[in-house]
């Protein structure tokens, strides 16, 4: 079968291999989900809900962690908070009727958007490893539908949210370096010092290594996904 004989769906999937096509699809989805005051308010409301859940998760154990380290300890909640702030930067443009892809850019926003993207991806994927390393224990827990399925579903929403950011965000070498440093620092704090998120088991080197790998891949993905500040080609 030649390419011209392939079904339309297969040809469409083939076109998604091209970066400009993927960018147009991403921008269209971002415009649909974030491009009107009502849709943006819904996404912001859901982000606020996820933030409240994250705070509730970390609050009972935060007292045992020095206050200056809370931003690294409560990593999932902080990721959502950063994502929410990045979304709030869209509000003036969307209220004026402008396109999401045309929001103003700045170096400060580039740092915010890059770190938010990396943390949302990193800690959105992290439960896929951390919970499945003790799969039986989590499914046997009294509230397994929350501690396993609820956590996985909510955190995968982090990833979906982050993937919209390159439609309006930018990055810089400095922002990528900061995101990488924070990813490494978080792993050192969680598994070197012992201030890891509450789990039903004591994590070891496998989870530490997987978390670091996810962080590095998240930074790589940010580098591939975002346009550089000042380069709108």
Domain of residue 54: give its range. Answer: 14-228
Residue 177's contacts (CB-CB under 8 Å, 6 or more residues apart) are none
> How many domains, the chain?
1
Give the residue from 171, 172, 173, 135 showing the smallest Cα distance to 152.
135
Residue 189's contacts (CB-CB under 8 Å, 6 or more residues apart) are 69, 72, 73, 195
Domain presence at residue 8: no
Domain presence at residue 1: no
Domain presence at residue 106: yes
Query: From first to last of its 233 residues, what are the pLDDT tens digits of the chain?
Result: 444 454 554 455 455 566 677 778 888 899 999 999 999 999 999 999 999 999 998 999 999 999 999 998 999 999 999 999 999 999 999 999 999 988 999 999 999 999 999 999 999 999 999 999 988 888 887 777 777 888 888 999 999 999 999 999 999 999 999 999 999 999 999 999 989 988 888 999 999 999 999 999 999 999 999 999 977 54
Domain presence at residue 166: yes
Domain presence at residue 6: no
């Amino acid at each position: 079968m030649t390419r011209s004989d392939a079904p339309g769906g297969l040809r469409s999937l083939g076109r998604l291999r091209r970066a400009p096509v993927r960018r147009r699809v991403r921008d269209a989805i971002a415009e649909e989900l974030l491009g009107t005051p009502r849709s943006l308010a819904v996404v912001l409301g859901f982000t606020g809900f996820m933030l409240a859940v994250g705070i509730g998760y970390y609050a009972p154990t935060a007292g045992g962690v020095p206050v200056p380290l809370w931003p690294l300890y409560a990593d999932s909640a902080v990721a959502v908070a950063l994502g929410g702030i990045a979304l709030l930067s869209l509000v003036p443009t969307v209220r004026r009727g402008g396109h999401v892809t045309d929001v103003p850019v700045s170096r400060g926003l580039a740092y915010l958007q890059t770190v938010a993207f990396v943390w949302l991806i990193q800690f959105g994927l992290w439960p896929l490893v951390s919970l499945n390393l003790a799969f039986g224990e989590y499914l046997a827990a009294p509230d397994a539908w929350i501690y396993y399925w609820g956590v996985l579903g909510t955190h995968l929403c982090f990833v979906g949210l982050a993937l919209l950011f390159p439609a309006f965000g930018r990055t810089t070498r400095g922002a990528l370096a900061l995101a990488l440093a924070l990813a490494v620092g978080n792993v050192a704090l969680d598994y070197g010092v012992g201030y890891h998120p509450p789990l039903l088991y004591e994590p070891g080197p496998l989870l530490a290594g997987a978390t670091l790998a996810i962080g590095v891949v998240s930074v790589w993905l940010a580098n591939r996904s975002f346009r550089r500040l000042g380069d709108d080609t």
